[in-house]
Structure 1
Amino acid sequence: MHFQKSNKIKLLLCSLISVNLFANTNLDESILSDSRKKTFDLEKEQAKEDSSKLKKDWINQVIFKYTKNLGDEYKSETSSIRIDQPIFQSGGIYQAIKYANSTHDYANLQIQQERKNLIKDAYNLLFQIKKLDLNIQKTKLSLANAKIDVQRKKEQVLNGFLDSSFLDNALLTLNSSKHTLVDLKYQKQELINSFENIASGKYNNFELPKFEFISKEEYLEKNIELEKAKASIKKDKNYSHMTMARYLPSVNVYYNYSKTHYSDGKPNAEQTNDQTYGLYITMPLDSRALNDIESKRIEYLKSKLNLKNKIDDEKSFFKTKLDKLSMLEDRLKITSEDLSLYDSILEIIKEEKEAQIKTQSDYDTLKNSRDIKLLDAQVYKIDKQIILLELYSKVY
């Protein structure tokens, strides 16, 4: 039995991989409302500006100062400009620019992932609405069977063939089906409201996508979560080097200029100008330097380990989804066998009905049960699409 099951899973895997692996179907962002898409566009624009700001963080401000002295006998005005700018920070400037770029890359992946997740949520709601439609149809068929059973039990009780408790149970089943139908209709409306809260139109304006299988290799190669982990490694590595550079020698240029003149008729008042410029070297001596550098190095090492953990997580996630696909294939196979059996019995019931051995209600009950099985198969196929949707939402 174990050998047969193993072979079955391998055959399923081979058949799935034989499909065009990353099919043309993709998650279409047109399903999202304009306001949702605009939010992501603004986040992307903000990430760009934040990155540009980080690239310029090593450039100090140019300080302009204007002073008007009103307290002395002769009023004076002074204007000054001060520039104090590092031009060499032991590699810190280069690492700061690299850190800004890697931060931008990470932020873009984060936004892309959030966008994908919201699109996935929208499509998932569409699939869930379709599932509820099928379950509503199933419940209506069950309700029809319950009504037939109540009528049959009523006749049997009135004719003295059954105890009234059988009719009571049939009525309870009928009542339960009615309540189930009400609940399902409410659940569908809830999902419709949730969908239209994020979507660009009414739910029935969109067609359900058709996803094909994606291989494990491509899933891992194009996985957004893994790309984020790789981007985090670069970001933390650059930040670690940038932190180290803060505690190394720095070469700075400076320029100071000031201009003073008097007003209100001070005797022999002369305008004075003064400027100085030059170079200086700094070497910070901080008792916390080694702790700070080591902390950032550990953060970088954690990022590298996090990538390995993420790879294991995504492999496990993929395998779990593959196992679930296999389970749904088994259910579809069982349902197909049940449908074949129902069809053969329906042929017999039809012949017996024509010979007046069976009644129309006997035929209708069995046909309704057969149609419920047919709807079950459609539900399983939608469940497969939901699983594939989860895989597609995690790749770019």
Structure 2
Amino acid sequence: MHLIKSSKVKLLFCSLISLNLYGSNEAFDEKIISEKRLKNLELSREQIKEESSKLRKDWINPITYQLTDNLGEDYKTQRSVISINQPIFQSGGIYKAIKYADSSYDYATLELDQQQKELVKQALNYLYNIEKTNFNIQKAKYTLENAKIDVNRKKEQVLNGFLDASYLDDALLTLNTTKHNLVDLKYQKQNLINSFNNISSADYTKFELPVFKIFNEKEFIENNIELKKAQADIEKKGNYSYMTMAKYLPSVNAFYTYSKYHDTDNSLKLTKENDQTFGLSLNVPLDTRTFNDIESKKIDYLKSKLNFENSLDDEKTFFKTKLEKLSMLDERLQITKEDLEVYDSILKIINEEKQAQIKTQSDVDTLQNSQKIKSLDLKIYEIDRQLELLELYAKLH
């Protein structure tokens, strides 16, 4: 594997596939996300499981136990009643209720996966930008060296009467601006480190960042977490729509009641016997709101289908926009490479002229610093490419 050496962050050259393109890389996530945040995500997953389990049992009615005291007669009695009234047929509503629980679980799980993916994306974004800022700091230092050389050159020319003092003043202003820029960059870097530390409890210098590679639109659409969520939402709302309709259709319930009387004062007047009843009941709900309720849920279901189509268009446009941005960065990389070739050729000439005492060492140093700045621009554009690809990676599941 090829590495870009850095004093702070190392960039690991590998394909996006090696980071588990279509899912979360648990080992990597556990390293980069703080333990507290991971614990919160773990608790959320447990909560989703419990909520789903509860939904799967919602169609089961509870068994009730009732104990009553009779105080209105000459003797005191107590009565215990155990009863259950359980639907055993709801025109498909029971089956859809279980399916609704499953689809709700799928949707909530995808949403939580997306939250975790977003945390990883933010952390990686900070790490890439820390490295980018490192390169900008190096650029600022080379620019500062050139500014100092220019001030010394202008100072000598002004003292020798070759230039007006205003040229020296401009050079000093440029030097001062460059110094302030370097201070700002150091602050930006520390700010990025602090932001990273809000997500991760690990040292930011310990991470090797993946260099992502582009993939095709088909892979992006098929593994897009936003679209998977939209599909899960369609399934969930479709099941809920049928559940709502079934609520207003005939249903069959099985019922059972057992009553037991307790003589609390040993009275001989108590002649009531224990009894039990059981059987089936047919229920036909008549509700003036039936049509409105059913139509409302159908509309919600249809909206979820339209939302999926809109999301599909949005994600295709997003992918196309990112490709265009990557193409633009590739052009900038090519231009910078061509500029570097020009610097190489000019440096050869300047070095020859220095040896012939036509040019000074400061001329060579200035051009070498400019060349180094261009080389750093190449690395910065590469990081910009990774930041764009990271946006795509964060959309995958």
**If the length of structure 1 is used for normalisation, what is the TM-score?**
0.91
C-alpha RMSD over aligned residues: 1.7
Question: What letter matches 2:175 in structure 1?
Answer: L
Pairing 1:115-264 to 2, within 5 Å after superposition: 115-264=116-265
Number of equivalences: 377
Question: What letter matches 2:389 in structure 1?
Answer: L
Tell me, in whole angstroms, the C-alpha distance in 1 between the residues paired with 2:370 and 2:187: 24
Is the CA contact 1:150–1:171 (under 8 Å) kept in the aligned structure 2?
yes
Tell me, in whole angstroms, the C-alpha distance in 2 between the residues paired with 1:259 and 1:328: 83
Question: What letter matches 1:390 in structure 2?
Answer: E
**1:125 Cα deviation (Å)?**
0.8
Moved more, 272-281 or 145-154: 272-281
Question: What letter matches 2:230 in structure 1?
Answer: A
Is the CA contact 1:134–1:379 (under 8 Å) kept in the aligned structure 2?
yes
Tell me, in whole angstroms, the C-alpha distance in 2 between the residues paired with 1:368 and 1:289: 78
Tell me, in whole angstroms, the C-alpha distance in 2 between the residues paired with 1:157 and 1:82: 105
Tell me, in whole angstroms, the C-alpha distance in 2 between the residues paired with 1:265 and 1:252: 39
Q: Among the aligned pairs, what percent are the same residue?
A: 61
Question: What letter matches 1:118 in structure 2?
Answer: L
* Secondary structure in structure 1 of the residue aligned to 2:311: helix
Moved more, 331-340 or 62-71: 62-71
Q: Does 1:395 align with 2:389?
A: no
Tell me, in whole angstroms, the C-alpha distance in 1 between the residues paired with 2:66 and 2:301: 42
Partner residue of 1:12?
none
**1:94 Cα deviation (Å)?**
0.7
Tell me, in whole angstroms, the C-alpha distance in 2 between the residues paired with 1:260 and 1:302: 56
Partner residue of 1:25?
19
Partner residue of 1:10?
none
**1:23 Cα deviation (Å)?**
2.8
Is the CA contact 1:65–1:79 (under 8 Å) kept in the aligned structure 2?
yes
Question: What letter matches 2:59 in structure 1?
Answer: W
Tell me, in whole angstroms, the C-alpha distance in 1 between the residues paired with 2:154 and 2:274: 112
* Secondary structure in structure 2 of the residue aligned to 1:276: strand
Tell me, in whole angstroms, the C-alpha distance in 2 between the residues paired with 1:96 and 1:51: 11
Is the CA contact 1:335–1:373 (under 8 Å) kept in the aligned structure 2?
yes
Q: Aligned in 2, Cα 1:21/1:151: closer, same or farther, shift over 3 Å?
A: closer
Report Cα offsets for 1:349-384 as digits up to 9, x if no partner.
Answer: 111112221111111111111100000000000111
Is the CA contact 2:56–2:97 (under 8 Å) kept in the aligned structure 1?
yes
Tell me, in whole angstroms, the C-alpha distance in 2 between the residues paired with 1:22 and 1:366: 38
**If the length of structure 2 is used for normalisation, what is the TM-score?**
0.91
Pairing 1:365-376 to 2, within 5 Å after superposition: 365-376=366-377
Report Cα offsets for 1:321-347 as digits up to 9, x if no partner.
Answer: 101111011001000010000111111
**1:270 Cα deviation (Å)?**
5.5
Tell me, in whole angstroms, the C-alpha distance in 2 between the residues paired with 1:333 and 1:187: 28
Moved more, 25-34 or 365-374: 25-34
Pairing 1:1-396 to 2, within 5 Å after superposition: 23-26=17-20, 28-30=28-30, 31-68=32-69, 74-269=75-270, 272-396=273-397
Is the CA contact 2:15–2:210 (under 8 Å) kept in the aligned structure 1?
no
Partner residue of 1:14?
none
Tell me, in whole angstroms, the C-alpha distance in 1 between the residues paired with 2:391 and 2:336: 25
Is the CA contact 2:16–2:210 (under 8 Å) kept in the aligned structure 1?
no
Tell me, in whole angstroms, the C-alpha distance in 2 between the residues paired with 1:72 and 1:187: 85
**1:80 Cα deviation (Å)?**
1.5
Is the CA contact 1:261–1:271 (under 8 Å) kept in the aligned structure 2?
no
Tell me, in whole angstroms, the C-alpha distance in 2 between the residues paired with 1:29 and 1:22: 15
Is the CA contact 1:236–1:300 (under 8 Å) kept in the aligned structure 2?
yes
* Secondary structure in structure 1 of the residue aligned to 2:18: coil
Question: What letter matches 2:83 in structure 1?
Answer: R
Structure 2 unpaired stretches of 5+? 1-13
**1:268 Cα deviation (Å)?**
4.3
**1:263 Cα deviation (Å)?**
2.1
* Secondary structure in structure 2 of the residue aligned to 1:23: helix
**1:264 Cα deviation (Å)?**
3.1
**1:70 Cα deviation (Å)?**
6.3
Tell me, in whole angstroms, the C-alpha distance in 1 between the residues paired with 2:185 and 2:352: 36
Q: Aligned in 2, Cα 1:260/1:367: closer, same or farther, shift over 3 Å?
A: same
**1:235 Cα deviation (Å)?**
0.8
**1:74 Cα deviation (Å)?**
3.7
* Secondary structure in structure 2 of the residue aligned to 1:358: coil
Tell me, in whole angstroms, the C-alpha distance in 2 between the residues paired with 1:270 and 1:384: 89
Is the CA contact 2:140–2:181 (under 8 Å) kept in the aligned structure 1?
yes
Tell me, in whole angstroms, the C-alpha distance in 1 between the residues paired with 2:50 and 2:126: 34
Is the CA contact 1:76–1:262 (under 8 Å) kept in the aligned structure 2?
yes
Is the CA contact 2:15–2:212 (under 8 Å) kept in the aligned structure 1?
no
Question: What letter matches 1:239 in structure 2?
Answer: Y
**1:69 Cα deviation (Å)?**
5.1
